[in-house]
Amino acid sequence: MSRMAKLELDGKVYELPIVEGTEKELAIDISTLRSQTGYITLDDGYGNTGSCKSAVTFIDGDAGILRYRGIPIEEIAGKSSFVETAWLVIFGRLPTIEDRERFSQLLTDNSRLDESMLKQFAGFPPNGHPMAILSAMINTLSTHERQEANTEAQVEALAATLISKVRTIAAASYKASVGEPIVYPRYDLKYVENFLHMMFSVPYREYEPTPEVTRALNLFLALHADHEQNCSTSTVRMVASSQANMFASCAAGVCALWGPLHGGANVAVIEMLEFIKASGMPVKEYVAKVKDKQSNIKLMGFGHRVYRNFDPRSKILKKAADDMLASMKIEDPLLDLSVELAEAALTDDYFVERKLYPNVDFYSGIILRAMGIPLDMFTVMFAIGRMPGWIANWKEIHDDPKGRIYRPRQVYIGQTGEHWAPREER
């Protein structure tokens, strides 16, 4: 017999079912609360509201645990590529050799943009933000691609098309912004290498990444593939609940991710380092100002809203960043500052006691900068990585025969008893 929670309202007791997830998460099912009592719940910002049941990702923020489809992120990082991770996240199982080869081929076959789409990049202003271009062009894609998703094969084809073309759009928007010719994808390169080729090759010189760069970018994308019901993912589900197609739903996710409080955290890390460098302030002095609440100085890239322990992704990216920087022999004062800042914070009791450890954004910002990715492309890189998670959540909505359009309630706090007044009396 299922457990029940009891709620007393106006002298009457109501019973509400308790739902338990497979990882022992507990929730009170309030879906019948309004019909039974006339009340709704108020949870500004949805901080304590479970908006759905999902089988994609599990997070235990207190223990620093992240799992995709039940598999620890540490195992995925050590054994998987971004392409394999994308399949796992979307379809809920590890791909067979045949699955992986077929999906990889679909990614390769769908990497090119229609020539009419390439002409549209010239219509954006040179200083147009790449996230605006990315969202617009993903929506444009839906006019070029048929959106049937009635079988797994059709969903796979759509997913491969979107995951493949999103990197082509991203690279093309960058090339257009710097006045360089758009580089076509190569059919002999893997996913990450092909993106770097389209980003950094020019007609007179092919870009060839080192193994460490390829490894670091693969990790960056895989570690960003999904992260439960964050702002952009819940936006994708909201839009998908209206039966909007995959591309339209994911374009909405791009817009949500664009907000600086969501996808802009790794940008804020670099901006912080640039401020420290420009001010000439010693790192120890900056750290001291962070601890002074009157200074309004913040330590960006440390701590996390969900993780109350180490962000498990940050440990993985730190190793990748160390290996990549060592192999590239880059001389960059900002990267030197980042190392010094991390060491200073990790040895300071103030931050250790509050468990303000470097998070994934701290190291991802360092990695992207070292690769030569421009600052306004950082959030675009996040979007490329997050695409599998958005697609997986769209698929959960699409596959649910009992699914209804999302429609949150509100508590109205506006004026009452007002009436229309003629213009001459206003």
Pairing relation of β-strands 65-68 and 71-72?
Answer: antiparallel
99 is catalytic: no
The one-character DSSP state at 95 is: P
Tell me which of 197, 224, 227, 304 is the catalytic residue: 304
The residue written with tokens 């109205």 in the block is: 412
**Which of 349, 341, 335 is closest to 302 using CA atoms?**
341
d(CA 48, CA 50): 7
C-alpha torsion sign, points 378, 256, 22, 404 = negative
**Which of 284, 280, 266 is closest to 371 using CA atoms?**
266
The one-character DSSP state at 112 is: S
Look at phi and psi of residue 362 and say left if phi exceeds 0, alpha if psi is from -120 to 50, else beta.
Answer: alpha
Tell me which of 361, 376, 399, 400 is the catalytic residue: 361
The two tokens of residue 70 are 């039940």
224 is catalytic: no
C-alpha torsion sign, points 221, 227, 232, 237 = positive
d(CA 283, CA 289): 10
Rg value, the chain, Cα: 24
- Complete DSSP assignment for 153-195: HHHHHHHHHHHHHHHHHHHHHHHHHTTPPPPPP-TTS-HHHHH
- Complete DSSP assignment for 222-237: HHTS--SS-HHHHHHH
d(CA 379, CA 159): 20
Crossing angle between the packed helical segments 360-371 and 265-279, to the nearest 10 degrees: 70
The one-character DSSP state at 122 is: G
Please give the span between the terminal C-alpha atoms of the chain, in angstroms, as a whole number. Answer: 62
The two tokens of residue 171 are 């690279």
Other beta carbons within 10 angstroms of residue 257's beta carbon come to 25
- Per DSSP, the three-state class of 205 is strand
CA angle 123-129-133, nearest 5°? Answer: 50
Active site residues per annotation: 304, 361
